[in-house]
Structure 1
């Protein structure tokens, strides 16, 4: 037996009229369509759960009566033997946990709300719902996965991330379960920015929820969390997060991590890479010329420059060096930790090539500071 009780007796019009929603105890009610309680009653009776309501101390029982409409049988919901204007087919796609969510959400929209595993005595100033049935009692034990009972591990802009042992299957909106994920998640995601919900409390436009999640993560200042989410494997929901929405603006920490991943060749979220490229068009990668197509004499100059710096204890990996014809008149550019040399530079003298290679390498290492090529015209 699960009992829901809140202050203020229900107006019975809420059971007989669709579209009636009056919540004087709050200016921001969870429910506002005026249909949810009817849905919940239909689902409970369809699932063979016993429902009793106390309007103050007046007892109201619910059952069904078969009626025929154009030769088809329907189970009409009744209260104290009187037909209500709906059947148990209302909320046809609802699961039993949704009925629990509805009763609890309606209750917490009012004052002095209590839910209990057991009986609570009716009170003249209260509304009391009593639901009896093993299936519903099993749902009650899942309460903290329907209404988030954990504290957020991370509070981001428009988003809370909860690190919870029961994480994995759902998205939440303002603490209430609203959407079943196709893949298991590493965290519980609770969207705190405004979303539009459908009549059955699911997300009206799913892309709005995904954008809210992407925005929160992209602006996050927690590097360990960002790294974990951007490198999530394909088994997890996090691998499907699309960061490349026009309204997503990445923060400094996010950009730093993505830039580092690009420069190191680390495998990570392709949409995060696209977001970075969108916001850093100056870092667009130029066309690369295959090394084996470059004359051997020019290649030797480049390798000799790397060997020179190597002898001085400055190791510049070959994998970071690229030759391009896509920089126009620019001699070279450092992009995302890689060095791009214009092909015509390899026709210049060794001193210039050696100095330019180090100058561009220094550009990839902020700790080295700015270097001028003219200061590096060293006899090699």
Structure 2
């Protein structure tokens, strides 16, 4: 069994009365009253037993089946000091979307707000004056309790920026005031805990995911840790951080943010978050200028052959835009269309000669000429239509 214990005596009326929430702390996490009722309903619905000691008063909870408009409902009952069970006005359908960990979260947060503690026990201690205990019996709940760090943070943050706490480990959840309130749509490179007030739903989860992204982005803008910033602004698409929008919040970025973006651009441009790039450009009034290289004789021949080939199949790239060959565009980056310029990474020449170069030139040309973004329906349609047109020319007649 698990026992949550704190000093003071809970008013028994608050257990059965909605709209009562009286907390001792200045910054409470839980909602003593409504949340406790939800927790009781969830625990009984999942086959657990629960008892509350308020001083020397002992309250045990059970279920009684009643029919409402032809349908059976399990009403929660409360028996005080061994008396007859009395229905207290709600059923196990209360919090029907809640999972067991949410019941743990509610009770544990209430206990934490009251400076209490939770622990394993083999027997129920006798009730005593001046103490509140919530006793939960059931293996499943014990398992949740043992994994409590997944739902309530127990360690110190590695970094704090404004009201954003950051822990140096990957995660799948967002925390608010140390309590899990949201499962992220993608795993995150870091674990985040928001300290400033956000809006929660009735089940204590985040109401607006946009609000979460907003708060985290602002925290990153305030960050003074360049390594952390570089990780976030160059996050792969598989991570939550890749979705953050840093531009347009009306707050100045830290000097470290600008430095980290500038440093990352030089060797990982294709990885850099576009909104972070906008912040950097606004702050520095600079444009992206990767290091160009001087082409060798062989590289010049390959480039001319590629441009000639592109011309023959209908892409007049040679004189359309400046073409710059640069040292690198970052890991895996072959080409980039930016500032009305086609940038080609030197690595292209080692991958496939003029053939790879021609395909890269065509892709970046289409981005600039027609404005089609990578991996879009518009780009796909354009390329297939162009392929069919080339086929018509080869066949010598229209379809």
Q: TM-score, normalised by structure 2?
A: 0.68
For residue 257 of structure 2, give the secondary structure of its aligned residue in structure 1. helix
For residue 4 of structure 1, give the secondary structure of its aligned residue in structure 2. strand
Distance (Å, rounded) in 1 between the aligned partners of 2:13 and 2:160: 40
The corresponding residue for 1:49 is: 48
Q: How does 1:181-260 map to 2 (within 5 A)?
A: 181-247=184-250, 249-260=252-263
Q: How does 1:60-209 map to 2 (within 5 A)?
A: 60-80=59-79, 81-111=85-115, 113-118=116-121, 119=123, 121=125, 122-164=127-169, 167-209=170-212
- Per the TM alignment, residue 147 of structure 1 is displaced from its structure 2 partner at its CA by 1.1
Question: Does the 8 A contact of 2:32 with 2:110 survive in 1?
Answer: no
- Per the TM alignment, residue 146 of structure 1 is displaced from its structure 2 partner at its CA by 1.2
Question: Does the 8 A contact of 2:161 with 2:220 survive in 1?
Answer: yes
When residues 26 and 97 of structure 1 are mapped into structure 2, their CA distance, relative to the original with a 3 A threshold, is same
The corresponding residue for 2:343 is: none
- Per the TM alignment, residue 20 of structure 1 is displaced from its structure 2 partner at its CA by 0.4
Displacement over 6 Å in runs of 4+: 316-320
- Per the TM alignment, residue 267 of structure 1 is displaced from its structure 2 partner at its CA by 2.0
For residue 181 of structure 1, give the secondary structure of its aligned residue in structure 2. strand
Q: Which runs of 5+ in 1 are unaligned?
A: 304-315, 327-380
Deviates more, 1:241-250 or 1:83-92: 241-250
When residues 48 and 248 of structure 1 are mapped into structure 2, their CA distance, relative to the original with a 3 A threshold, is farther
When residues 220 and 134 of structure 1 are mapped into structure 2, their CA distance, relative to the original with a 3 A threshold, is same
The corresponding residue for 2:276 is: 272
Task: Let me know the Cα RMSD of the aligned residues.
Answer: 2.9
Q: Which runs of 5+ in 2 are unaligned?
A: 80-84, 289-315, 330-337, 341-399
Distance (Å, rounded) in 2 between the aligned partners of 1:228 and 1:325: 25
Number of matched residues? 296
Distance (Å, rounded) in 1 between the aligned partners of 2:118 and 2:88: 26
Distance (Å, rounded) in 1 between the aligned partners of 2:91 and 2:205: 22
- Per the TM alignment, residue 171 of structure 1 is displaced from its structure 2 partner at its CA by 0.4
Distance (Å, rounded) in 1 between the aligned partners of 2:35 and 2:209: 21
When residues 38 and 7 of structure 1 are mapped into structure 2, their CA distance, relative to the original with a 3 A threshold, is same
- Per the TM alignment, residue 325 of structure 1 is displaced from its structure 2 partner at its CA by 11
For residue 211 of structure 2, give the secondary structure of its aligned residue in structure 1. helix
Report Cα offsets for 1:119-147 as digits up to 9, x if no partner.
Answer: 46232111111111111000001111211
For residue 235 of structure 1, give the secondary structure of its aligned residue in structure 2. coil
Distance (Å, rounded) in 1 between the aligned partners of 2:117 and 2:327: 68
Question: Does the 8 A contact of 1:19 with 1:33 survive in 2?
Answer: no
- Per the TM alignment, residue 176 of structure 1 is displaced from its structure 2 partner at its CA by 1.0
Please point out which of 290, 293, 304 is paired with 2:319. Answer: 293
Deviates more, 1:228-237 or 1:171-180: 228-237
Distance (Å, rounded) in 2 between the aligned partners of 1:49 and 1:61: 12
- Per the TM alignment, residue 31 of structure 1 is displaced from its structure 2 partner at its CA by 2.8
Distance (Å, rounded) in 2 between the aligned partners of 1:210 and 1:13: 40
Question: Does the 8 A contact of 1:52 with 1:59 survive in 2?
Answer: yes
Question: Does the 8 A contact of 1:54 with 1:60 survive in 2?
Answer: yes
Distance (Å, rounded) in 1 between the aligned partners of 2:328 and 2:73: 72
- Per the TM alignment, residue 183 of structure 1 is displaced from its structure 2 partner at its CA by 1.5
Distance (Å, rounded) in 2 between the aligned partners of 1:154 and 1:266: 27
When residues 267 and 51 of structure 1 are mapped into structure 2, their CA distance, relative to the original with a 3 A threshold, is same
For residue 119 of structure 2, give the secondary structure of its aligned residue in structure 1. strand
- Is residue 2:4 matched to residue 1:4? yes
Distance (Å, rounded) in 1 between the aligned partners of 2:339 and 2:270: 26
Q: TM-score, normalised by structure 1?
A: 0.71
Distance (Å, rounded) in 1 between the aligned partners of 2:234 and 2:240: 12
Distance (Å, rounded) in 1 between the aligned partners of 2:339 and 2:138: 74
Question: Does the 8 A contact of 1:211 with 1:245 survive in 2?
Answer: no
Distance (Å, rounded) in 1 between the aligned partners of 2:89 and 2:7: 26
